[in-house]
Amino acid sequence: RPGLALCAGCGGRIQDPFLLRVSPDLEWHVACLKCAECGQPLDETCTCFLRDGKAYCKRDYSRLFGIKCAQCRAAFSSSDLVMRARDHVYHLECFRCAAC
């Protein structure tokens, strides 16, 4: 579909021989697919995350939209063990009695 698609990054028509399709309805020029927060190019070396039609690198997506510890407000890594209490999630080391 080159020539028919509109770039989600710059809004221009994609007439390049290559385009990047991140979801069924969002396409970018190769040079326009960048993190909406930090501007890092999102290519085969960097995972791309979408939210509300904007693309983000993994670091910024986690920082902006990831679940955070209810005590220390830090994000979780994939290897963290967590404790859940109702609607809250804690690092194991952050899950302590508030009274003592």
Q: Are 7 and 28 in contact (CB under 8 A)?
A: yes
Whether residue 82 sits in one domain with residue 51 = no
Range of the domain at 46: 19-64
Query: Do residue 59 and residue 74 come from a single domain?
Result: no
Q: What pLDDT shows up at residue 71?
A: 94
pLDDT in tens, the chain (100 residues): 455 788 888 888 888 877 777 777 788 888 888 999 999 988 877 778 989 888 999 889 988 998 899 999 988 887 889 999 999 999 999 999 878 8
39 and 75 fall within a common domain: no
What is the Cα–Cα distance from 93 to 12, expressed in whole angstroms?
Answer: 49
Residues 60 and 75 in one domain: no
Looking at the structure, tell me whether residues 26 and 54 fall in a common domain.
yes
Residue 57 maps to a domain: yes
Are 73 and 60 in the same domain?
Answer: no
Q: Count the domains in the chain.
A: 2
1 is a domain residue: no
Locate tokens 């939209």: which residue?
65
